[in-house]
A = this chain, B = another copy of it.
Amino acid sequence: MMRFSFSAALAALLLTLAATASAADEDGYDLWLRYRPLEQAAQARVQSQARSVVLPGAPSPTSQAALDELHKALTGMLGRAPAPSARISDGALLLATPARLQELGAAASPLRAELSALGNDGYLLRQTRIQNHNVTLIAANTDIGLLYGAYAWLRDANTGAKLEASSAPTLQLRLLNHWDNLDRTVERGYAGQSIWDWWALPDIKDQRYTDYARANASLGINGTVLNNVNSKPEVLTAPFIAKAAAVADVLRPYGIKVYLSARFSTPLELKETSTADPLSPEVRAWWQRKADEIYKSIPDFGGFLVKANSEGQPGPQDYHRTHADGANMLAAALAPHKGIVMWRAFVYAPKGTHLNDDRAKQAYDEFKPLDGQFAANVLVQVKNGAIDFQPREPFHPLFGAMQKTPLMMEFQITKEYLGFSTDMAYLGTLFEETLETDTKTAPQGRTVAQTLSGIAGVANIGSDRNWAGSHFDQANWYAYGRMAWNPQAKARDVAVEWAALTFGPRTVTPVVDMMMMSRETVVNYMTPLGLHHIMGTGHHHGPAPWVDNLERPDWNPVYYHRASRDGIGFDRTAKGSNALEQYAPEIARQFSDPKTTPPQFLLWFHHLPWNYAMPSGRTLWAELLAHYDQGLADAKSLRARWVALKPLIDPRRYSEEEQRLNRQVANATLWRDACVAYFQSVSGLPLPAGVQPPAHPLDYYKSLSYPYAPGRG
């Protein structure tokens, strides 16, 4: 009787806990690694593949991380921990490198050949028989390959996708760039503070560092630059090297190397040299000693990211040296340790010097002539477009043009110009659009992706509980990572994966539909038809196409849209700035004629009269208005679609996104109304019938200010 009543109480307790666990609100901390209980059919399938988990031999920290993740995940998905086992039995999930496979008598030559093509990071997943048992094999040449394979298997287990046969990344450098300052502010950060708590380091290592490593390893990201490209000298002093080393210790088992942004004038500012001239022996010796010092604490330190002679940062040009002189000096210090230099091509004329006639041309003008002059361990890191992370830009002309220099792509995952973390904009489509574009360059046409040696994403990660500022912004981190691994991946496929992992299988179609339309929505209500850089000064929030009084002409929105009574757009053809000549001739030719220029880039390359006839049959003026209206309508549609999803989403995440979508509709309304009011004031044209006048006069929009907008760094 006692025993019965105890059991009954226990059962009641357990039932409650189970209900709580399954119905509970989610706060987003678990990202795409949620490992919630699977539905019954999926459970049976997964269980049959992982009755036990077998890793022959003693685990390394990296293969231990794989085992830990599998244990955590299977416990969550199946409701019980998998049997850890040293021996293979039917239904085992086996993790093995070639040496172990050989010991198991399973290194048959087809498998071996397949593995040898996968490099350091690749993996294969295979249902096979080993030692007369049916097993699911995760095989790789290295332990980090096993970890990647474990995450791939878990992705499949969770989404029900069929096992991938094998996968290996094409890019060896897959990095995040944190624009995180040492005081924990984050330039262009919209997700709270920096996750790097420099003050508490190295003594106190936050649990987040480990979870950050897990999330990134699950995507295959293998490097991270901890601090802002607008760097400070102190990051290279002993106390901060010790702090970075503590982070590196946490990330190392997950295959993630630590890099630092180096300020070019560091030794001078620390008063340890009398100059920062890259050709000065004193300076070269200082950097060599500094590299030695860093590698003593961080033996696998990745290297330096450098922003030089751009936006006020110091650089080699301060001493009449070239970017190559500067980069090569640092590269020489790092080379003995196998470190690299990532030298940014995002430059425009420093204050006070002669302005280029078109800011879009400057990176090419400065860097193309240096092609071939960079040391072997230097990569030039190029933003996806020539202006600055706009909602849409044509690809940067340096891709394909720098034939002798390894290039890295720099995408911005954080949404500086796309509504911060309050507007929904899935960037997978932006990444895909850029990566798949044919540069029409030798040997016989290469996509942007094919011109790359590495890739970097400016992180959207912060201390917010959901990491990214909103649940849907997690998708941008995810998409960046998956496309860094496979630059041929399709944005829709990645969205399908993410939606299934994040909101569960029943939500996939409607969630993916929202994601796929979301970025174009933002383009339409902010900068349709090739408009760009008409956002508010400094913070880049909200519309400010009227601004014309900033210190530099090329900081002013009017510089970019060039709207007047006679028309709108930036003429970058031969009649204008001729930025087009930086592209391959085939592209330059196509884009030199507005009729053959893709409409989404029309005003990027052409200045056209308001009555220019668009393919739609509308005038340019009417077309512009139609895009703004479409953007607002689609923002409302996004909200309506989410409201319809309410029954399928846990209340907390539903409500958090609903609040953001309300905000997005307000932001879209503001953009649409302000731009219509402003461009009408310039064009002097009436609104076509049926077009809603703005809610307020233009002066109202001009009067709005946002003195405490986030992300100023």
Residue of B nearest to A539 (CB): B199
Q: How far is the CB of A230 from chain B (nearest CB, A)?
A: 14
Q: Which residues of B contact A656 (CB under 8 A)?
A: 204, 207
Q: How far is the CB of A111 from chain B (nearest CB, A)?
A: 35
Give Cα A183 to B190, complex, Å: 12
Q: Which residues of B contact A203 (CB under 8 A)?
A: 422, 659-660, 662-663, 666
**Residue A376 lies at the interface, judged by CB distance under 8 Å to chain B:** no
Give Cα A283 to B15, complex, Å: 64
Give Cα A363 to B181, complex, Å: 38
**Residue A86 lies at the interface, judged by CB distance under 8 Å to chain B:** no
**Residue A14 lies at the interface, judged by CB distance under 8 Å to chain B:** yes
Contact between B182 and A708, CB atoms less than 8 A apart: yes
A residues 427-480 near B (Cβ < 8 Å) are 463-465
Interface-lining segment among A16-24, A378-386, A398-406: A16-24
Q: How far is the CB of A385 from chain B (nearest CB, A)?
A: 27
Which residue of the partner chain, among B14, B234, B463, contacts A17 with CB atoms under 8 Å? B14
Contact between A204 and B422, CB atoms less than 8 A apart: yes
**Residue A61 lies at the interface, judged by CB distance under 8 Å to chain B:** no
**Residue A506 lies at the interface, judged by CB distance under 8 Å to chain B:** no
Residue of B nearest to A663 (CB): B203
A 11-33 to B, binary, CB cutoff 8 A, 1 in contact else 0: 11111111011000001000000
Contact between B14 and A80, CB atoms less than 8 A apart: no
Q: How far is the CB of A9 from chain B (nearest CB, A)?
A: 8
Q: Which residues of B contact A41 (CB under 8 A)?
A: none
Q: How far is the CB of A705 from chain B (nearest CB, A)?
A: 9
Q: Which residues of B contact A21 (CB under 8 A)?
A: 17, 20-21
Residue of B nearest to A203 (CB): B663
Q: Which residues of B contact A9 (CB under 8 A)?
A: 79
Contact between A199 and B709, CB atoms less than 8 A apart: yes
**Residue A619 lies at the interface, judged by CB distance under 8 Å to chain B:** no
A 284-300 to B, binary, CB cutoff 8 A, 1 in contact else 0: 00000000000000000
Q: Interface residue count for A (Cβ, 8 Å)?
A: 49
**Residue A224 lies at the interface, judged by CB distance under 8 Å to chain B:** no
Q: Which residues of B contact A185 (CB under 8 A)?
A: 185
**Residue A281 lies at the interface, judged by CB distance under 8 Å to chain B:** no
Contact between A463 and B184, CB atoms less than 8 A apart: no
Q: How far is the CB of A20 from chain B (nearest CB, A)?
A: 8
Give Cα A182 to B707, complex, Å: 9
Contact between A13 and B18, CB atoms less than 8 A apart: yes
Contact between B708 and A234, CB atoms less than 8 A apart: yes
A residues 113-139 near B (Cβ < 8 Å) are none
A residues 71-113 near B (Cβ < 8 Å) are 75, 79-81
Give Cα A553 to B189, complex, Å: 40
A 411-428 to B, binary, CB cutoff 8 A, 1 in contact else 0: 000000000101000000
**Residue A198 lies at the interface, judged by CB distance under 8 Å to chain B:** yes
**Residue A205 lies at the interface, judged by CB distance under 8 Å to chain B:** yes
Residue of B nearest to A184 (CB): B710
Residue of B nearest to A47 (CB): B9
Q: Which residues of B contact A16 (CB under 8 A)?
A: 75, 79-81
Give Cα A15 to B16, complex, Å: 12
Contact between B463 and A192, CB atoms less than 8 A apart: yes
Q: How far is the CB of A301 from chain B (nearest CB, A)?
A: 21
Q: How far is the CB of A639 from chain B (nearest CB, A)?
A: 12
**Residue A37 lies at the interface, judged by CB distance under 8 Å to chain B:** yes
Give Cα A615 to B21, complex, Å: 62
Which residue of the partner chain, among B12, B465, B708, B710, contacts A465 with CB atoms under 8 Å? B465
Q: Which residues of B contact A27 (CB under 8 A)?
A: 207
Q: How far is the CB of A110 from chain B (nearest CB, A)?
A: 38
**Residue A170 lies at the interface, judged by CB distance under 8 Å to chain B:** no
**Residue A193 lies at the interface, judged by CB distance under 8 Å to chain B:** yes
Q: How far is the CB of A664 from chain B (nearest CB, A)?
A: 9
**Residue A200 lies at the interface, judged by CB distance under 8 Å to chain B:** yes
A 686-713 to B, binary, CB cutoff 8 A, 1 in contact else 0: 0000000000000000000001111010
Residue of B nearest to A193 (CB): B193
**Residue A351 lies at the interface, judged by CB distance under 8 Å to chain B:** no
Give Cα A537 to B533, complex, Å: 42
Q: How far is the CB of A211 from chain B (nearest CB, A)?
A: 11
Give Cα A75 to B465, complex, Å: 25
A residues 620-668 near B (Cβ < 8 Å) are 652, 656, 659-660, 662-663, 666
Give Cα A465 to B707, complex, Å: 27
Residue of B nearest to A469 (CB): B200
Q: Which residues of B contact A13 (CB under 8 A)?
A: 18, 37, 79-80
Report if A204-B663 is in contact (Cβ < 8 Å); known contacts: A13-B37, A14-B17, A79-B12. Answer: yes
Give Cα A422 to B192, complex, Å: 21
Contact between A79 and B199, CB atoms less than 8 A apart: no
Give Cα A420 to B18, complex, Å: 40
The 29 listed contacts between A and B (C-beta, < 8 Å) are A9-B79, A12-B79, A12-B80, A13-B37, A13-B80, A14-B14, A14-B15, A14-B18, A16-B79, A16-B80, A17-B17, A17-B18, A21-B21, A27-B207, A181-B708, A183-B708, A183-B710, A183-B712, A192-B192, A192-B193, A192-B463, A193-B463, A199-B420, A200-B663, A203-B666, A204-B422, A204-B660, A207-B652, A234-B707
Please provide the 6 A-B residue pairs with the shortest distance between their CB atoms, ordered closest to farther: A13-B79, A14-B14, A182-B708, A203-B663, A204-B659, A183-B708
